[in-house]
Structure 1
Amino acid sequence: MRILLVDDDELLTQQLADFLGSQHYAVDVAADGEAGWDYALAADYDLIVLDVNLPKLDGIRLCQRLRQARYGKPVLLLTAQGDTADKVLGLDAGADDYLVKPCTLNELSARIRALLRRPGNLADPILRSGDLCIDPSTCEVTYQHQQLSLSPKEYGLLELFLRHPQRIFSSTSILEHLWSFDDAPGEDTVRTHIKRLRRKLKAVGADTMVDTVYGMGYRLRPPATSSPDLQKAARQDEAREAAIALWEKFKSPTLQRIASLEQAVAALESGALPEALRQVALADAHKLSGSLGMFGFLEGSRLSHAIEQELATASPTTVSQLQGLVTALRQAIEKPPQPSTEQPSSASQPSQPAAVILTSSAPSPAEGQAPIKVLAIDDDDTILATLQTMLSCWGIEVLTLDDPLQVWTRLAQEAPDLLILDVDMPELNGIDLCQQVRDHDTWNGLPILFLTAHRKPETILKLYNSGADDYVAKPFTEPEIITRIFNRVERHRLLQTWRKPPPVG
């Protein structure tokens, strides 16, 4: 599905574009109303998300112009103006829905899904074709209750076919629906993704789902039988078992970090907290706020973040409050992990317990392409071990490094496809390291993804200003980080292909 986002708030559009990209949407961004009009005429969008207060042409007038031109696709108004009169004005202009900022990304995603499914079966949000099912709210695909592990573009192809089961899509039309203007490849890439999708469907017995209509394109073959509902309870049980297994592996170092927090509180109660002990406790609280949520301890992640803030200015007068937070933290992790099978709701503020859900099969790399190699740099061994466990299930080779000063040696030795950085690291912080990579003659084009527990807008802005391509907040989910890695590596490899000089002769 392809979405046009029209908003002049650069930081907001970056956040929304990243989030929608993680939900398998192709996103184009226009910064003013006139540019939005041009984009809407130039491509076949499935939905437009439109701010009201825009330069050159405001959102109300743009919506009116689109409807006067018989533009029939859904339009969602997104604005800070929440008065009833403003809502009536927007709906009268032709908008299909109206969402007031600030809003959660979960709500935005739900509104988008609702608008996209209106032409179809309103009673059932699950897309079905025989025994093949897609749940757009979780981006999960099953065939006869077998879960398929698809890359973002493979998922997008399948969703496109299921939303329009009678339509034949040419390669050009598929490019228009699934790629934004900035990263649109050639038609050969479409054929490659079709082959990969068919191969994975064949592996579960659905090898005749996608038809080639010679001279025209591709379509979904009509189903011969129908399937029962998705077994969501089974998926939740599988996720819970995976989270508990990971927790048992990393429980001991987590308890050691909590013990260091308790030691800092005891020192503060005695009247003196040495600065060295404070810094150790601050580092442990920061790491806990990033890692606990991955095991399903969302409350533990929140408490750790609060402890980190208290420790920064802790004094004997605030020791009782800090003691209460640390006690609540230990009580929180005594409960079993509570994983969530939902997709991540926000890159900056996760709102659901985000336990890792491991898959049983990895997506095959595109024909002729090498497997993906990632270099992850973080001083938290829990995060590094989790990344190795998680990404290896997708055929991604993960190289880990806990000392950022060794990065140049490892880059020269391994030549990775993507670099994962943390912000807070000893000796050299991730933002400075990112800037150094961008200034390097050899590695300045390497995709860089940040994993960080920082959520302040000014910190996120520093990440992008230093040259980061993307960022994911800790705790993170498997679908979120896998999607980001595949998107960035795929785009980088396509750019490298386009920049290669043509063969001589």
Structure 2
Amino acid sequence: MRILLVDDDELLAQTLADFLISQHYAVDWVTDGEMGWDYAQAATYDLIVLDVNLPQVDGVRLCQQLRQSQYGGPILLLTAKGDSADKVMGLDAGADDYLVKPCTLDELSARIRALLRRPTAIANPLLQWGDLCLNPGTCEVSYRGQPLALSPKEYSLLELFLRHPQQVFSSSVILEHLWSFSEIPGEETVRTHIKRLRRKLKAVGAEQAIDTVYGMGYRLQTLPDSPTAPDPVPVGDQARQAVVSLWETLRAPILKRLSSLEQAVAALQTGPLTDPLRQTAAVDAHKLSGSLGMFGFAEGSRLSQEIERWLATPEEDEDGDQLRSRVEALRQELERSPTAPVTPVSQPVVLPLTPPPGPRLGEPQPPSGPSKVLVLDDDDTILATVQQLLAHWGIQTVILNDPLQLWPTLASELPDLLILDVDMPHLNGIEVCQLLRDDDTWNGLPILFLTAHRHPEVILQLYSAGADDYVGKPFTEPELVTRIFNRIERNRLLQAWRKPSQPLSSGLDGGGEY
């Protein structure tokens, strides 16, 4: 399962990312709302975790944008804002759950598992295929009650198939689900992991679990009957070990933040706090209040919140006695070992959401109404291949190999979607994309890049320039066709949502609404 984490508190976010990775999730982490939007458009995420106070675009507005762009996956808001009004605002924006800092890693992990279970409408938290059983809570796999040892990626592959038993996954889509941008390999890696997983399943008698759909990808073999699996194993011990390990790694930078507060106390002995020192201490206190609860320091989080409030409004305590006593108590609190208590999970508030339009990969279905696609690429082979491929699906295709002819061709053909390559003569595809996004007439045209570039930095440049989607060369027919269909249908839905007077735009434009 792949998770996007959007949080500008580097220490807290690194703690969360490390913990989630230890639970066999693939994690991408970004620090502001605009990058969160770019990443959410760049890959398929099973769940998105958002802070509320984010630079560029706040978490509530980003949540709204994601829902308006038809992202149907679960969204968890993780924030220090715990007022009832803040929760209502976050849930009304489209969040599936709202978790207030400080919280424990146990609670966060349990909430994530609950959200990932919800779309499958399965009451039993175990994932089963016949006698094969996967327990997401303990990351354990068994066959007929006997443990089955899998590598982290083999485990993630099996979990992906078990959570989506009817879906066909191409190699590129599997890469999107199970690898982060910083580590994404080639498609041959997927075939290698599939082969190893099949070998281990065959050794215990489950060799028919994974089916190959030739020319399309892989899926779970249909199995009508499933026996009852054993009861799940408690998750507490594994989570506590992960918490202790993370605390040992991050203890030094946390104590550095505490030192910032102690410097503020010392400065009060000689006079009033300077604005820079007060601001730095307030930021550190705020971050401590959010991160300490992850390690079981509930009292530490409470003290940090009180320190933050004091720094914001010192009122009559100008000599700093209250501040001093709270910082000293915080130091004593952090001298003990983390406890990481298992926090009971309350029932989250859930909003009914309509699944995003479009077919599953492997089952392409045309969008409503006739469609026209303009393909700009200096490779005539690619142009001919795409034109022939799309013709089978009833899509009218206009091909172009010179970017200098793009504007008159757009005006004469009025396409529903544009496909660009990166490397082209005169203007590269990224420059073309930027020019279109700056143009009042064409800034809302869906743009899909079809390119051999796979480096994360280049892919991020595509989305930063305003791209809507990306498919790597070589590509499979169902993947390309499905992405084209989904983008065209999504754009038509957005046009239907907009008021006639509202300008057409793409992405997070910093003003107005989708």
Q: Give the TM-score taking structure 1 as reference length.
A: 0.49
Tell which structure's C-alpha radius of gyration is larger.
Answer: 2
Higher RCO, 1 or 2 (CA under 8 Å, sep at least 6)? 2
Q: Give the TM-score taking structure 2 as reference length.
A: 0.48
